Amino acid sequence: MLRIYRCLLYLYPAVHREQFGDEMTAVFRDIQAETAPKGIAAHAVFCARETTGLLAGALQQRVRALDRVSVWLLFSTRRFTMRTEFRFPKSTPALMTIILAGIILAIEKAKAIQASLPATNPHLGPIHPAHFTFLPNVVLALAFFYMAGMFGWAILFAMHRSGVHRLADVSGEQK
């Protein structure tokens, strides 16, 4: 099976194969050695899973290689997906903002529940629903800062101070 695995590695682009091929083969060999004593059924499941994963990974790397060469995708996946060139996807700040908003919303709901309870614990009254204005305020703040950024960029662009203009002014000798 190791020979077949090595042959299937040639489905990956050459750059990816040179960078990760030896490591992938070593990991496959180690896991195959661990799976062999578990029986034929476990070994068959392992081989099927690894072959499927290898084929899917090769296809994904080929699509990424095509995406770098030509712009044939309607929506490029290059900006938001995990790549070997950087450590985390560029969608991380947006996802972290959503998580932070969820935490703040949960804290606000907890405060509303706590405020609806009386100070003494013997008798608990009904919990009344609270009206939250958190989400509209966050959306309004994000829209405000987005517009402020666009306004700042427009001023810099009009003054020819943006990075595009500074790079255009660099002479061939300075490069």
Instruction: Say which DSSP state 90 is in.
Output: T
pLDDT of amino acid 169:
61
DSSP helix/strand/coil, 4 = helix
pLDDT of amino acid 138:
87
Characterise 39 by phi-psi region: left (phi > 0), alpha (psi -120 to 50), beta (else).
left
The beta-carbon contacts of 23-32 under 8 Å, at least 24 apart in sequence, are 28/2, 29/2, 32/1, 32/2
pLDDT of amino acid 108:
92
pLDDT of amino acid 123:
62
Q: How far apart are CA 164 and CA 142, in angstroms?
A: 26
pTM of the model: 0.38
Q: How far apart are CA 63 and CA 13, in angstroms?
A: 10
> Which pair of structure tokens corresponds to residue 111?
């405060």
Q: How far apart are CA 170 and CA 136, in angstroms?
A: 45
pLDDT of amino acid 157:
75
Full pLDDT tens readout for the chain, 175 residues: 778 878 888 888 888 888 888 888 888 888 888 888 888 888 888 888 888 888 888 888 888 777 665 444 454 555 555 555 556 667 788 888 999 999 999 999 988 888 887 665 656 667 777 777 778 888 999 999 999 999 988 887 777 765 555 556 665 555 4
pLDDT of amino acid 62:
81
pLDDT of amino acid 39:
86
